[in-house]
Structure 1
Amino acid sequence: MDKSLEKSLTQWLRGQKSACGHFLKLSILLGILNGFAIVAQAYCLATILDGVIMQQLAVSELSHYFISLIGLFGLRAILAFGRERVSFEAGRRLREHIRQAVLHKLIALGPVFIKGKPAGAWASIVFEQVEDLHDFYAKYLPQMILAGFIPITILACVFPLNWAAGLILLATAPLIPLFMILVGMGAADANRKNFTALARLSGHFMDRLQGMATLKLFNRAEAELGKIEQASEDFRTRTMAVLRMAFLSSAVLEFFAAVSIAVLAVYFGFSYLGHLNFGHYGAGISLFTGMFVLIMAPEFYQPLRDLGAHYHAKAQAIGAAESLVDLLETPETYLANSSSSPDKDMLSTPQDQIDLATVAITATDLKVFSQDGACLLGPVSFEVNTGEHVAVVGPSGAGKTSLINALLGFLPYQGSLKINGVELKQIPLAKWRSHLAWLGQDPQLFHGTLRDNVALANPELTDEQILSLLSRAQLADFVAQHHQGLDAPISDQAAGVSVGQAQRIALARAFAQDASVFVLDEPTASLDKHSEMQIMQSINQAISAKTCITVTHRLDELSDMHKILVLSKGKLTQAGSYQELVADEAGLFARLVAGKEAV
């Protein structure tokens, strides 16, 4: 990974620690108190051994040291438990904060942006990558402070007793962070590649799972199993590379710590044997000094070893942060408005007071763009008057969906797109969308009950009102025949209902919204001829006085439309009534109706 990128990601990670609240500081405080308890514990233990062995004191004379030692054991256990609890809470709050930021960003960016990646890739970002930030805040950041404070505290206690032992500790201490840095140089890049492989595997598996019927019908199931196996093997290889780095780091840190402690032990052993006579301040080396330093030596290296053990958490967090930062810093300039919730200044503007009880739409030299700036539609100019029913038709790829997405506020545009004379960009999206009813050809139902899905936009609906809406959507028989009625379960991906039933449930949900504009995208695409006629009759009754824009491929049902917009290759080629367009035999619409060109 590029050093400048790694540095910027580290700075971003540190900038998020305010979300941990006071728990991060409390974790550090408990670690510092544990460090003081370590010193006191070593002092009591060394005093007891020196008193019993060298000074031949009775155990009763050292009873207060025994009591203190037992108390310190209990205190350290309580401090360690408390630190684990508050550290976990700090990480939990951080993960909750980041997940909320990611979800809010995805809501702001809209469905067009989300469809640019497989659902599995988004699941990997929201769950796996956010989860891997936990240890950076719960363990690594607090340990960085403790790795500096506790060794310095121990050195401050050792140097007054024996300067040679202090120098040994001071000289060997940098070996641990040095190797930690050397190992960590490639760890962040390995983690980043690991997350990329995981996102690819998740998206690959989700796509194949959703298309299993298609794969079986085309006899490609076995071939796709091989591709999933290949993606899984790639992910396994990268995961093992990350684990190898983590285990290698831990093993080498343990080795250096053991060697350093051994050097201290050799120094004191030869000093007691009389072969070494330096390091003390003229009074010789007592058993207390040797025991105190040797007891403190493992504790001196332990914070550094813990930091090394948690260093992979930093590398893991940096690898996870790259895609999170890319997402969170994605500009929202392509939205019709920068926020789905208007700010206070916007609330005071005349545009917020616009009356959307009835809606007229005027487009002048309108151009619609993709997220990367490619022109998808335009320039086009048209008008939709209040209460008009307008059909948008044309060959596939003509720009029909792009026009709808611009109206819904999901794609950027240039030129003018006015709602009741006010530019769409100046109208708060929440206000505009509250007056829209949307029905797509592939309706999205959510896990829950039939009642929940119909009352999605208006949770205050009574059961009687919901039944009335379902009856208008020609779904009353389904409710009556189902033994759970409105509590009929709807599983993920609309499992439990047919495609036609899902379309009708979505239609009832659209009816439930007090909308001024109905936007319909192939509303009867999944229905048989008889059901189609019933649904269209219900729609026409519900929206008789409403403005309606319908995208459709069924040209034989457009005779009642007030106006038809014919798109081709991103341009508006014709506009007029059904009779006017059919009469123009040289026009695109007449050729589409005659079947001379594919819709």
Structure 2
Amino acid sequence: MQSLRQLVLSEKNRLHLAIALGAAASLLMIWQCWLLATLCDLALHQQQIPTDLLLHILVLWLLRPMLLAAKDLLGLSASQNLRTSIRQQLLGIISRAGPLRQRIASDGDLSTRLLEQVDALDPYISRYYPQLYLVVLCPLFISVAVASQSVLAALLLLATAPLIPLFMILLGKKAAKASQQQVQALGLLGGRFLEFLRGAQLIRQLQAEPLVLNRLNNACEDYRTRTMSVLSKAFLSGAVLELFASLAIALVALYLGLGLLGELPWAKAQIPVSYQPALFILLMAPEFYAPLRQLGTDYHAKAQAEAAFASLAPIWALPVCAGGDTPAPTEPVCIEFRQVSLRGSEHRAALVTAIQAQILPAQRIAVTGPSGAGKTSLLESLLGFQQPDQGQIKIGDHDLTDLNLAQWRQQLVYLSQQSQWLKGSLRSNLLLAKASATEAELKLVLQQAFCADFVFALPQGLDTQLAESGIGLSGGQLQRLALARALLKQSWCWLLDEPASMLPPAQQQLYFQQLEQLSRGKTLLLATHQLQRLDWLDQVWLIVQGQIVAKGTVAEIQAHPLYQVSYQQESQ
């Protein structure tokens, strides 16, 4: 994974041009200060002021702001291009990651990161990165110009300059820590807000609006308090930097003023620096510290950007499988796991370890075991979202990672424990599987999945509106509708993860009886805790702690001691 600085280098052409313009503006400022000092010296001695001198000052007065504006525009352009690119990269990773994204955060939290945290990189890209170079170049130019008039004044500037970065770092560490905590708080707030929006209809039905609003108000108040804490640290840091810069400028002004008065202890009745050079140096002294003060201000933007980048880093680190160009098979083929291991997240052990198994064409297999044993992970491995940490998954003669994954997923039916439903009508959600399905096809699959009775009993039938996540129907109804939608797809490989877990026992029996008929001639991999009513399966794999510990018929696995232990635990 790239670092934040490496990402910024992808826009180095624009940013380096911005740095060059900033350096050129600094050189023009030195020239302008010299001309202004000359103008004041002529006026002091009541000499005639040349017209070309005024013209030069006017040109520099116009040209320097134009260079600085161009510098800022280039920085903003580079930032916009880079943030667009980063957002596209992250969206691509999340879309390819599928269920893997849930390892990082909820969808609401991820949305907040893609919007708020990517935008939080802007000050670092557009201001802080160019300022890192200008904070060296500009004071260097000014030091050389000052040294040409007074070496001691140049030494005073150089001696006091390190104090500003020193205190910037000391105070900036606390601001950086506070910024990181603020990023986490914003992500949690965004995730909570999205969940409340998704459940708005249910919240109204339960008349829980006051409770939800109270929780949102408390979360917002906590976020406001955190924000004010971050701002107070930033303001304190800025005030300290301004104080040190002002004291340093005052020190230079004191030296020049005493020198003009001939009151320097080591040079009594002498003027080491005359009026014009002294005024020239004094005009440039604030400009000497300006880049340092600006860097101090932008240092907080750096802390915020680093905290934001840290929240985006886990997305880049997802072990997403990119796939290849090999066409996916459209007919049942052999599926083989060859010592497949999938790593978990940083807070979770390996999902599955050294899986060695084979699924023959049109073979129907159940995967059983205790909760957290790796059943869902084994099914999801066939979706091709996660790159195996070790081993291979062979689909026919090809490695899964070599297949065109979009085509491969078109050959799959995957029913998770909680299927995805979009806000819209029942009809539009069913047509996601087959957009061209006719009314007769819809009625047929609804009957096959035992949905016709309750769907056509609804006042609007198939045109009944669903809220997001299917709110409005029971979990059992949604599971049966998920089967109906799967039947529209006409796929040869079915991956079912506890597809009837929310149905009562009587309906579960009917569900599995119908599944036995509908899955004939198809490759089926079924994750389940219990094996009752599944005698028609060809084979059962018992998985414990990410490893297949036994294979056999339904009766053989039911008699296995490890299955009996897990079955008793799940039944309690």
Fold-level similarity (TM above 0.5) = yes
CA distance in 1, matches of 2:480, 2:338: 35
1:71-470 matched pairs, under 5 angstroms: 71-107=59-95, 109-112=97-100, 114-115=102-103, 117-200=105-188, 202=190, 238-276=226-264, 285-329=273-317, 332=319, 339-342=321-324, 352=326, 355-361=329-335, 370-371=344-345, 374=349, 384-390=359-365, 400-409=375-384, 412=388, 418-420=394-396, 424=400, 429-446=405-422, 461=435, 464-465=436-437, 470=442
Q: Which among 42, 48, 51 is matched to residue 42 of structure 2?
A: 51
**Structure 2 partner of 1:36:** 27
Alpha-carbon distance, 1:139 to partner: 0.9
CA distance in 1, matches of 2:487, 2:12: 45
Contact 1:200/1:231, CA 8 A, preserved across alignment: no
Deviates more, 1:155-164 or 1:305-314: 155-164
Pair 79,420 (structure 1): closer, same or farther in 2 beyond 3 Å: same
Contact 2:258/2:264, CA 8 A, preserved across alignment: yes
Structure 1 counterpart SS, 2:495: strand
Deviates more, 1:101-110 or 1:413-422: 413-422
Pair 27,454 (structure 1): closer, same or farther in 2 beyond 3 Å: farther
Alpha-carbon distance, 1:24 to partner: 1.1
Structure 2 counterpart SS, 1:386: coil
Deviates more, 1:568-577 or 1:175-184: 568-577
CA distance in 2, matches of 1:288, 1:450: 83
Structure 2 counterpart SS, 1:295: helix
Contact 2:427/2:462, CA 8 A, preserved across alignment: no
Q: Which amino acid aligns with 2:28?
A: A
Alpha-carbon distance, 1:397 to partner: 5.6
CA distance in 2, matches of 1:484, 1:65: 83
Contact 1:437/1:510, CA 8 A, preserved across alignment: yes
Structure 1 counterpart SS, 2:419: coil
1:22 aligns with 2:13: yes
Alpha-carbon distance, 1:102 to partner: 3.5
Q: Which amino acid aligns with 1:339?
A: C
**Structure 1 partner of 2:524:** 548
Pair 278,49 (structure 1): closer, same or farther in 2 beyond 3 Å: farther
% identical aligned pairs: 34
- After TM superposition, the score normalised by the length of structure 1 is 0.72
Gaps of 5+ in 2: none
Q: Which amino acid aligns with 1:15?
A: Q
CA deviations 1:413-453 (Å, max 9, x no partner) are 87886533656566564553342122334222346888986
CA deviations 1:205-250 (Å, max 9, x no partner) are 6667778999999999999999888876765565444333321221
Structure 2 counterpart SS, 1:358: coil
Pair 46,482 (structure 1): closer, same or farther in 2 beyond 3 Å: farther
Deviates more, 1:293-302 or 1:36-45: 36-45
- Superposed CA RMSD in Å reads 5.3
Contact 1:367/1:379, CA 8 A, preserved across alignment: yes
CA distance in 1, matches of 2:321, 2:559: 45
Structure 2 counterpart SS, 1:16: helix
Structure 1 counterpart SS, 2:496: strand
CA distance in 1, matches of 2:108, 2:177: 22
Pair 36,165 (structure 1): closer, same or farther in 2 beyond 3 Å: same
Gaps of 5+ in 1: 1-8, 333-337
Q: Which amino acid aligns with 1:93?
A: N
CA distance in 2, matches of 1:165, 1:397: 71
Contact 2:445/2:488, CA 8 A, preserved across alignment: no
CA distance in 2, matches of 1:235, 1:444: 31
Pair 574,151 (structure 1): closer, same or farther in 2 beyond 3 Å: closer
Contact 1:390/1:550, CA 8 A, preserved across alignment: yes
Pair 146,115 (structure 1): closer, same or farther in 2 beyond 3 Å: closer
Structure 2 counterpart SS, 1:257: helix
Q: Which among 65, 68, 82 is matched to residue 56 of structure 2?
A: 68
CA distance in 2, matches of 1:239, 1:30: 35
Structure 1 counterpart SS, 2:413: strand
CA deviations 1:80-131 (Å, max 9, x no partner) are 3322222122222332333344444445555246246444443454344333
> Aligned pairs, how many?
559
CA distance in 1, matches of 2:87, 2:209: 35
Alpha-carbon distance, 1:135 to partner: 1.6
Structure 1 counterpart SS, 2:263: coil
CA distance in 2, matches of 1:505, 1:467: 15
Q: Which amino acid aligns with 1:407?
A: L
Contact 2:367/2:543, CA 8 A, preserved across alignment: no
Pair 597,250 (structure 1): closer, same or farther in 2 beyond 3 Å: closer
**Structure 2 partner of 1:563:** 538
